[in-house]
A and B are shown apart, each in its own frame.
Chain A
Amino acid sequence: MRRIEAKFAELKKRGEAALIPFVTAGDPDIETTLKILRALEKGGADCIELGIPFSDPTADGPTIQRSSERALKNGLSLPRIFRLVREFRRYSELPVILFGYFNPIFHYGLRKFCRQAAEAGVDGMLCVDLPPEESGELKRWTDDEGLDLIFLLSPTSGSDRIQQVARKGRGFIYYVSVTGVTGARGSFDGQLRSQLARVRKATSLPIGVGFGISTPQQASWIAGLADAAVVGSALVEKIEKAKGSTEKAQGAGRFVAQLKRAMRQIRRVPN
């Protein structure tokens, strides 16, 4: 069984929702990211979402924009991200998902990218500016290499889109909780529960919710509604504010532990 699928199955048995922290690869450098990943695992992360930095991150708010800029300034490249994942794999069996924009991958070569990602131990891929209609070629190579290609749905997605994503998606479905870009928010769309129910009807894949989740309270609320909570900007901001690389990793680990603890307090009924 693939790592992502296995992880969701295992959590389901325990009646838990998955916590998926997001960090930008190479922010501020690769060595620190590796330390952070290990701290995230220790803190209770169930899966890692690793951001591939891009010069023009149109789906991201200011926090992740800044983190991408820092990573790029230090010369981050795809081969270095693959090395990072390979290194992480020496210690860990946590699923790793790459989250990025299309152009760097396209420029690198879709086939080469998928092959090298899979060899490095990557499990899934999410390309935020690639709509399912245009994903045919990438999907061919992710399928070939056994990578899960994950798609996004949002509050404005209609039923056609939901059906399409349910058909093409693998691993899980990433539900964007609000209209807009990544970043912490005070509140959520009041209709999240009913919107998730609509998606649930269309798919047997797990559903993860992301964008705007920044506190343990929010994470635990999401744990009651969905199969996973993705926390990005709030974590990236903690990493940004901490001083040295050890402090950054410790802070990230502590924050994830808080989130996970809050999420565990919600009893989920295994079905």
Chain B
Amino acid sequence: MPALTELERAYAQVRRERTFRKEFQHYLHQYAGRETPLYFAERLTQKLGGAKIYLKREDLCHTGAHKINNTIGQILLARRMGRRRIIAETGAGQHGVATATVAARFGLDCEIFMGKEDVARQSLNVFRMKLLGAKVRVVDSGSQTLKDAMNEALRDWVTNVRDTYYLIGSVAGPHPYPMMVRDFQSVIGQEARRQILKQEGRLPDYLVACVGGGSNSMGLFYPFVRDPKVRMLGVEAAGGGLRTGKHAASILGGDVGVLHGSKSYVLQDDGGQIRETHSIAAGLDYPGVGPELSYLRDRGRVRFVSATDKQAIEAIKFLAEIEGIIPALESAHAIAAVMRLAPRWAKNGTIIINLSGRGDKDMITVADYLGVKL
């Protein structure tokens, strides 16, 4: 708790500082390769025959996903706070890679906690993290996925709180993390807003993003929250189907609870025990969701739908074949929802999908699913 208070204070201070904001912008530009294009997906639009579809190309960021935006912001903060050791949890490994990357860049020690099951299905990212000089700690407790990695990272943090900075990758966890991660990721929505105004001369009708913990969706949505005409759609992971119980749709299938220090929708059983989740996308495999997303849903500001494993795989194939872009399994959930809904949306409307990451890391999983031997 004192560590959180200290973090809250430190963040409140840098947030107001022009030098900090400039430093952040500098690394986003020079190191992460921003801004990312807002790409008009012409063939996808034609194929679906509905609203005009734009893809916000976060997959083109350094390390291959939006995760780097937040890790740059937080590592700069950690440096200000004089921390020498960085820890982080990771599911798909994208946040782990993004953390290991910035830790390497700034010469800080780095340990990444990752569930045993995720280590097996994301071996490529495990190797990348090690190559970047990070230690990967395999977590074999509980369901051996993202939430357990987060449990273990929290345990490490309370033990080594005096010299360690915990770099959370999602808009989850205790305050101030959900707010801070949202702020650092908001660069996605700020750019998209500027870009669509330039390209279309007006705001978009729909924003669509996949939601696990919710960092990429909050990043895209937040700068549009006060534009009532912009509708927002979060896509949760339905895994084997919402009715099978094997899914990771916390908002659509969960109840209000408290997990990892925030009150939000949580997948839990009758006894308030956290349920195991299932999604083919390791980055969506989390039984909670950011508290602000829960709030926006309760206010009716963000609507939620879901996509199954199967639909996500189909979306990957579809986008790869007609646009020459292979999305991450996570982002494919957003594509899948649009494939279903876009034909129903007005032709003169515009949609921005957050293409939060690229699919290279998922090739083994996808091949496996399709029964292809590599």
Contacts and interface: CB of A to CB of B under 8 A. Distances in A.
Interface residues of A, number: 29
Nearest to B4: A131
A158 B142 CA distance: 33
Taking each of A59, A65, A107, which has the highest tally of chain B beta carbons within 10 Å of its own beta carbon? A107
B363 interface: no
Contact of B2 (A54, A72, A157): A157
B271 A161 contact: no
A188 interface: no
Interface stretch (A36-44, A98-106, A218-226, A257-265): A98-106
Nearest to A176: B158
Given A78-B271, A103-B272, A179-B158, A55 B266 contact: no
B155 interface: yes
A85 B93 CA distance: 45
B258 A102 contact: yes
B273 A55 contact: yes
A108 B272 contact: yes
B56 interface: no
Contacts of A161: 1-2
B194 interface: no
Contacts of B1: 131, 156-157, 161
Interface string A158-176: 1001000000000000000
A251 B207 CA distance: 61
Contact of A54 (B147, B155, B255, B273): B273
A55 B274 contact: yes
B259 interface: yes
A246 B159 CA distance: 36
A6 B268 CA distance: 39
Nearest to A53: B273
Contacts of A78: 271
Contacts of B272: 103-108
Contacts of A77: 271
A217 interface: no
Contact of A181 (B148, B159, B258): B159
B258 A103 contact: yes
A107 B151 contact: no
A61 interface: yes
A42 to B, nearest CB: 31
A65 B151 CA distance: 11
A71 to B, nearest CB: 11
A56 interface: yes
B257 A179 contact: no
Interface in B196-215: none
B293 to A, nearest CB: 19
B273 A179 contact: no
Interface string A125-165: 00001010000000000000000000000001110010000
Interface in B125-183: 141-142, 147-148, 151, 154-155, 158-162
A92 interface: no
A104 B142 CA distance: 17
Interface in A8-62: 54-59, 61-62
Interface in A106-132: 106-108, 129, 131
A129 B261 contact: yes
Given A56-B274, A157-B2, A106 B257 contact: yes
21 contacts: A55-B142, A55-B273, A56-B142, A56-B151, A56-B259, A58-B151, A58-B155, A78-B271, A103-B257, A107-B272, A108-B271, A129-B258, A129-B261, A131-B1, A156-B3, A156-B161, A161-B1, A179-B162, A180-B159, A181-B158, A181-B159
Interface of A: 54-59, 61-62, 65, 69, 72, 77-78, 102-108, 129, 131, 156-158, 161, 179-181
Which 3 pairs from chain A and chain B are nearest by CB?
A107-B272, A180-B159, A104-B272
Given A65-B141, A103-B272, A129-B261, 20 more contacts: A55-B273, A57-B151, A58-B154, A58-B155, A77-B271, A103-B258, A104-B272, A104-B273, A106-B257, A106-B272, A107-B268, A107-B271, A107-B272, A129-B258, A157-B1, A161-B2, A179-B159, A180-B159, A181-B155, A181-B158
